[in-house]
Amino acid sequence: MAIFKNTYLIMRHGESEANVADLVVSNPDIGCAKYGLTPLGKSQAEKTAMAYSGEKSI
**32 belongs to a structural domain:** yes
Compute the average pLDDT of residues 12-20: 90
Contact 18, 24 (CB under 8 A): yes
Has residue 2 been placed in a domain?
no
Is there a domain that residue 11 lies in? no
Task: Supply the pLDDT for residue 33.
Answer: 83
Q: Is residue 5 part of a domain?
A: no
Residues spanned by the domain of 24? 17-53
Q: Which residue would you say has higher pLDDT here, 30 or 20?
A: 20
- Number of compact structural domains in the chain: 1
Split at pLDDT 50, 70, 90, the class of 7 is confident
Any idea what DSSP says for residue 55?
P
